[in-house]
A = this chain, B = another copy of it.
């Protein structure tokens, strides 16, 4: 058993410099968990960045294979934490054991996938060989590769204590890119953060990597977060969280003397468009599948389907009746934190008091505390379009059915959409072809467009795009999940007439990296 000390991990040492402390709560019982954590000081945050900065300069001389070994070792060491990690995460999130174990598998799988991509690269480097005889001017040898940006700050996310937190996708892709990392742990699951940091420290030691490659600070104050994203030696930020906090941090990064990229995932309602013929033929199964998807993780997935878009046509009545029935049978669920439960309940109250909305059904009543009930509402498309606040994500098990009068209004609705991580369109091939303009207009707002599938479940694979126009992402040209996530933390560099002895391995003639050679 690892002793939880509540300290920060800076340059390979567990340290604390303040007396201020905080604790985490068990959302299932509302009890305080039996650990105490230190609130980082400004000096702690500075030390963490200095450590990452020094380590970055050493990391440059490590090979892709050495970075891959580190990622694989982190995965192994996370698994070696065993039951202690599972129980800590359960105590801090109220997520069930199977979910935590599944998320651990996803986290380790993701680390290993990035390692595998380093060993078996899939994206090409480009080589233009010299043409010394070219007229009127000779052409130099030039080779395009990627270099890491530098120290990266990663914020742990409340809804994925493993897969989007300490050793989650942002950390894994930053390390894969060759960047050093400073994690700001999420204050709702600090013990989970500390345990995973232990695993990373062990992996660093085993792999003989620079100790400052990974640093972790815990804090409940906004000051440390703001300090980290403004630090001149920090070169990029990864964030998954609320639009409110994300906007503040993003603004700080853009107002720096030299702006840095802020890769923020801030919210998405993931609209589900059901075409009229499909609604007429499959109303019942569509409604049941919608509810099953929106209840996954009690609606706390970033891809939870919060909007359904239909027309006032055959099947609608049956769809709404089935939806009402399924929602009313939904059990109450415990949310990740009391704050999240309170925000959800406040948003639902606002919807209940909105005269434009019809309340379709509620699930089983909650027992207060961190619990909440499922909910579904309907609204006309014209009322929805007239009230932009209805586009804001309700984080939790709530669906809003938007009812359009006709094709034209469905198209108008699609064009009014804010940015989304995903959208789905349900229809037969023939019906989809009839609605090709609608499909194109929906695509304009999303990072991932699905057909006849629900959005929950984000594959870690080469073709994944987890991002989309704002507020789904603050950087829609990048993804936070999948192989391409590494590109967030590198930039291209052209190396011209570089002596072979100095060339990085991947751009040498005949390297195993896929090469486009001219």
Q: Which A positions have Cβ atoms within 8 angstroms of B?
A: 57, 60-61, 122-124, 126-128, 137, 139-140, 142-144, 147, 150, 254, 258-259, 261, 419, 429, 432-433, 436, 439-441, 443-444, 446-453, 457, 459, 461-465, 467, 469-470, 474, 476-479, 482-484, 487, 490-499, 501-502, 516, 518
Contacts and interface: CB of A to CB of B under 8 A. Distances in A.
13 contacts: A122-B126, A127-B462, A128-B459, A143-B463, A144-B464, A258-B419, A259-B474, A433-B502, A439-B502, A448-B493, A449-B494, A449-B496, A463-B518
A382 to B, nearest CB: 21
Nearest to A136: B102
Nearest to A488: B477
B440 A494 contact: no
Nearest to A429: B499
A501 B464 contact: no
B499 A142 contact: no
Given A142-B463, A432-B499, 19 more contacts: A57-B440, A126-B484, A137-B457, A140-B450, A142-B464, A144-B462, A150-B444, A259-B470, A429-B502, A432-B501, A448-B494, A449-B498, A450-B496, A450-B497, A451-B496, A451-B498, A451-B502, A465-B494, A467-B491
A65 to B, nearest CB: 19
A211 B459 CA distance: 41
A484 B126 CA distance: 10
Contacts of A433: 501-502
A-B pairs, top 6 by smallest CB distance, nearest first, are: A465-B494, A144-B463, A126-B462, A448-B494, A126-B463, A450-B496
A180 to B, nearest CB: 14
Contacts of A492: 447, 465, 467, 477-479, 484
B126 A483 contact: yes
B453 A140 contact: yes
A493 B61 CA distance: 34
Nearest to A424: B496
A167 to B, nearest CB: 22
A502 B478 CA distance: 24
Contact of A461 (B459, B467, B482, B518): B518
A452 to B, nearest CB: 6
Contacts of A143: 463
Nearest to A507: B463
Contact of A494 (B447, B457, B469): B447
A486 to B, nearest CB: 12
Most buried by B among A449, A494, A499, A518: A494
A449 B144 CA distance: 10
Nearest to A146: B477
Contacts of A122: 124, 126, 516
B493 A443 contact: yes
Contact of A448 (B432, B478, B496, B501): B496
A128 B470 contact: no
A57 B411 CA distance: 13
Nearest to A256: B470
Contacts of A518: 461-463
Given A476-B491, A501-B433, A142 B459 contact: yes
Contacts of A439: 502
Contacts of A501: 429, 432-433
Contacts of A447: 491-494
A440 B499 contact: no
A127 B122 CA distance: 12
Contacts of A502: 429, 432-433, 436, 439, 451
A493 B466 CA distance: 9
Nearest to A125: B463
A239 to B, nearest CB: 15
A496 B439 CA distance: 13
A123 B147 CA distance: 19
Given A443-B147, A502-B432, A461 B493 contact: no
A237 B60 CA distance: 33
Contacts of A464: 142, 144, 494
A258 B144 CA distance: 32
